[in-house]
Structure 1
Amino acid sequence: MKFFSEIETAEQSDIQKLQLERLQQSIRHVYENVPFYRQKFEELNISPEDIKSLDDVTKLPFTKKNHLRENYPFGLFAVPKEDVVRIHGSSGTSGKPTVVGYTQNDIDNWAELVARAIYAAGGTKGDIVHNAYGYGLFTGGLGIHYGSEKAGCPTVPISGGNTDRQITLIQDFGAKVICGTPSYILNIAEKMEEMGIDPSETSLEYGIFGAEPWSEEMRETLQRKLGIKAVDIYGLSEVMGPGVAVECHEAQDGLHIADDHFLIEVINPDTLEPVAEGEDGELVFTSLTKEALPIIRYRTGDIASITREKCACGRTTTKMTRVKGRIDDMLIIRGVNVFPSEIEYYLLQIDELVPQYQIHLTKKGSLDNVELHVEMSEEFYQKASSQGNLEEEIVSGLKKKIQHSMKTNCLVTMDIHIHQPKSLPRSEGKAARVVDRRKEEKVAN
């Protein structure tokens, strides 16, 4: 077993003692330096001295994404701007972006967390890391980059896009670890196959994938195509960035949270009350060591559960399940709740299809409707074409098979649209799995 830090195998009692010390320090830090939090504390009639145990975190106010937008750009910073060495943020496509800042100590802590993640995934010092996460305001690229260097790994800062060049560099440099969104890494694997390259015959051994929900079936597809071990990494810019939690390559069964830097809760998103261990709910994070932008009880919108059992890999940290979906990504179709990742899970079990799909939300009269756009595999397409039945019983039978699976497993009736190979758009970053056309149709009508 390889561990980057001894804290990963520390006793839970020791970790909790450290968490309380750091929680109390962080609460004092925001109370003294962030007017937003001081006001929230005073409204609830609490002070830093009231936080005497980890359970007392429930006395503190929640922070939501809109609070970052309302305090744009630097209203939640807890240090002077001259102490900030980096600024990241969201794209701001739906309004003002959320802005986060980092001191040098924040950057150093973040780099260590990502280094831990690389070791957990199976990497080690000297392994070449091919980093296909986007560089820029998005935290993925630079977060992985600094952590990879911290781990002692030669790092290829290729970023996203230019897939042909990605493939050339993987072959020429002999990368052992590849990082990126699962949808884009799948795109790379498919492009290799088009070029006559067997993706499983490259130097790659491990993959660290995240930034979008992905199913167990997608993991199996990536592992089979690329001949690698694929692990999930979790993080969001408001809390830190990638490295908040990661799966280990030994178990691949839940993500190890960096308990020494973050305190996690799981709540019912409707009642805001804690849920039982092992029960799904909304993840809430409180940072314990961040200096520039400490965050208190941040409601992530991500749905998962946590457990506190020692892992087969030897780590003793809290584990969270892979994110099932986001509250705002959940589809509510005629009273049925379903996440895109659930649709993906069952879709990828159908051999005649490739792992490319889009979910279009439309209207049929006054009712919501789902169109599921999928893509035939090359083998199935050739078989159907050779028999001259491309639009007849073979494809018709496949449509019925997909509809039955979706209705049985996801409880939603969908209109199925089957496309020829390589016809659906490919991702060079986060995949656009859901296309909501309901507002467009409303305007058109």
Structure 2
Amino acid sequence: MTLKKKDYIPKEELQALQLKRLKETVERVYHLVPFYRKKFEEAGVRPSDIKSLDDLKRLPFTTKQDLREHYPFGLFAVPLEQVVRIHSSSGTTGKPTVVGYTEHDLKIWTEVMVRTFLMADVNEKDVVHNAYGYGLFTGGLGFHYGAEALGASVVPASGGFTKRQLMLMKDFGATILCCTPSFALHLSEVAKEEGYDIQKDFKLRAGFFGAEPASPGLKKAVAESWGIQYVEAYGLSEIIGPGVAATCEHGSLHVFEDHFIPEVIDPETGKVLPEGEEGELVITTLTKQALPMIRYRTKDITVIHREPCKCGRTLVWIEGIKGRADDMLIVNGVNVFPSQVEHVITKVEGVTPNYVIVVDKKGVLDKLEVWVEVDERMLTDGVGTLENLKKKLEVELLNNLFINAKVKLVEPKTLERSMGKAKRIIDRRELNL
């Protein structure tokens, strides 16, 4: 069976494979990882109790905090001598989360990355410009090995050095771009500033974007700025890295279910939600050796769909990640995700998708201000036009998100640009307690 055909496996055959792999994984972690054995016993469940895929919900959740508490290798299911690669998070909010890979795990990772690239029919004729960060972050190496396995020419550009990246993209004839959506937009801005003709000087035909939530408006802006197919590549280090899911030509974010079982739960109660309801994505790995994850709570907010996709793939699909539960702002009782603000902004003419949300406190009430860069063409239209634009944005935010937010229009290119994940929130509320 070719790798692409794995995306079209008959549903009954897929579910039988999932159940077999789930039983094997549960058996392994119960006997090899003391943490899981204890969690299973506390939940009153044993490996022999898993008789159907529906029994998955009987198993306990795993969280990022569990990884931190067992830092560095406490959740590994193999001895360290079998681990051939170690990655970790930055650890900016505490101990870093550490993930390990056996040789088998790296083969699986390469496989799912190949299937990701096949969403845009990447092949040996392509030149892949990889602007994801290399190093402990899983993004760079994940995309690198997937593209190499397809025989494509890979340019390991990593992050930063925007002008040099553009030079290499033009001179090497890059056809595929891999980076965060915010950096892709930044690249197009700088390309115009430097006098490039994007359609004539570059040969890009598709891009693989991930590592941060992106609204439909931002995705459209990136695709149109480069004139390319936008492929969303979803993943997280704790599961495998990029390669957990990717969007087909119809925009459905297909999960590679033969390796990962997705669920959507109510983040408050932990109850599994029915298809079509929004909640927190939970993932169980089926083929990982070094660091199997049982019902890992991703904190990512999405909706799961099981109806057939127009592309013909039998894989379940999820909607583009709306945001992280950790990033959700609660402003005077209203829940707001940065990506929702972003989507409103991108539908209004006269501003760019570059913005920052500033949350402050005035007395007992939360106060929200959105700083948005205006389009350069608006600078010649006078103060009255800008004031009308500001009011229009405030009305749109109120009508769409039910929040009273002040809008502050700032000059083009004044908000900080990110070479990786964009920082969209400045929360000053705790400073003013």
- The TM-score bracket by the shorter chain reads over 0.9
Amino acid at match of 2:235: G
1:252-267 to 2 correspondences below 5 Å: 252=251, 254-267=252-265
Give 1:338 deviation, angstroms: 1.2
Residues 70-85 of structure 1 correspond to what in structure 2 (within 5 A)? 70-85=69-84
1:371: how far off?
1.1
Q: Which residue of 2 aligns with 1:171?
A: 170
Give the C-alpha shift of residue 200 in structure 1: 3.1
1:208-247 alignment to 2 at 5 Å?
208-247=208-247
Q: Does the Cα contact within 8 Å between 2:378 and 2:386 map onto a contact in 1? A: no
Q: Of residues 349, 373, 376 in structure 2, which corresponds to 1:375?
A: 373
Query: What CA distance in whole angstroms lies between the structure 1 residues aligned with 2:64 and 2:108?
Result: 23
Partner of residue 402, structure 2: 411
Q: What is the SS of the residue equivalent to 2:87? A: strand
Aligned to 2:424: 433
Partner of 2:289: 291
Offset of residue 345 of structure 1: 0.5
- Map Cα deviations across residues 317-367 of structure 1 (whole Å, 9 max, x no partner): 111111111111111111111111111111011111011000011111221
Q: Which whole-Å deviations, capped at 9, do the CAs of 1:103-156 have from their partners, x for residues lacking one?
A: 011011001101110111332233111111111111111111111111221111
Q: 1:32-431 alignment to 2 at 5 Å?
A: 32-201=31-200, 202-248=202-248, 250-252=249-251, 254-381=252-379, 383-384=380-381, 389=382, 392-431=383-422
Q: For the residues of structure 1 that align with 2:307 and 2:121, how far apart are their CA atoms?
A: 21
TM-score by length of 1: 0.95
Partner Cα distance (2:318, 2:348) in 1: 28
Q: Is the 8 A contact 1:200 1:225 kept in 2?
A: no
Is the Cα contact below 8 Å between 1:86 and 1:101 reproduced in 2? Answer: yes
Q: 1:287 to 1:182 in 2, by over 3 A?
A: same
Could you tell me how far apart the structure 2 residues matched to 1:162 and 1:230 are? 23
CA distance in structure 2 between the aligned counterparts of 1:272 and 1:186, rounded to whole angstroms: 37
Summarize deviations over 1:251-309 as a string: whole Å, max 9, x none: 12x21110100111111111211111111111100000000000000011111111122
Encode CA deviations 1:383-439: one digit per residue, 9 max, x unaligned. Answer: 23xxxx3xx322211111110010110111112111111111111000001111222
CA contact (8 A) 1:4 1:119 kept: no
Deviation at 1:198, TM superposition (A): 2.3
Question: Does 2:6 match 1:15?
Answer: no
CA distance in 1 between partners of 2:319 and 2:397 (Å): 23
**Counterparts of 2:271 and 2:399 in 1: how far apart (Å)?**
32
Shift of 1:47: 1.2
CA deviation digits over 1:77-113, x for unaligned, max 9?
0000000011111100111001110001101100110
In 1, Cα distance between the equivalents of 2:428 and 2:197? 38
Residues 210 and 233 in structure 2, CA contact (< 8 A), matched pair in contact too: yes
Deviation, structure 1 residue 311: 2.1
SS state at 1:243 partner: strand
Instruction: Give the CA deviation at 1:440.
Output: 2.5
Q: 1:40 & 1:344 partners in 2: Cα distance?
A: 40
Q: Which moved more, 1:16-25 or 1:196-205?
A: 196-205
Q: Which amino acid aligns with 1:407?
A: L
Helix, strand or coil at the partner of 2:312: coil
CA contact (8 A) 2:235 2:242 kept: yes
Deviation at 1:314, TM superposition (A): 2.1
Count of residues in Structure 1 that have an aligned counterpart in Structure 2: 431
| Structure 1 residues 157-176: Cα deviation after superposition (integer angstroms, max 9, x where no partner) | 10110001100110011111
Name the residue aligned to 1:30: 29
| Distance (whole Å) between structure 2 residues aligned to residue 265 and residue 241 of structure 1 | 18
Task: Give the letter for the 2:199 counterpart.
Answer: S
Q: Distance in 2 between matches of 1:431 and 1:153?
A: 28
Distance 2:222 2:63 in 1: 34
Q: Distance in 2 between matches of 1:29 and 1:272?
A: 24
Contact 1:285–1:296 at 8 Å: present in 2 too? yes
CA RMSD of aligned residues (A): 1.1
Q: Give secondary structure in 2 for the equivalent of 1:76.
A: coil
Q: Please state whether the residue corresponding to 2:243 is helix, strand or coil.
A: coil
8 Å CA contact retained: 2:247, 2:253: yes
Aligned counterparts of 1:124 and 1:437: Cα–Cα separation in 2: 48
Shift of 1:222: 1.1
Q: Which amino acid aligns with 2:72?
A: P
Give the conservation status (yes or no) of the 8 Å contact 1:121–1:247: no
Is this contact kept in 1: 2:4–2:118, CA < 8 A? no
Say if 1:200 and 1:228, in contact at 8 Å, map to a contact too: no
State the identity %: 50
Tell me, which stretches of 5 or more residues in structure 2 are unaligned?
Answer: none
1:211-256 CA-partner distances (Å, limit 9, x unpaired): 11101111111111101011111000111110100001x212x211
Contact 2:283 2:295 in 1 (8 A): yes
Letter in 2 for 1:255: L
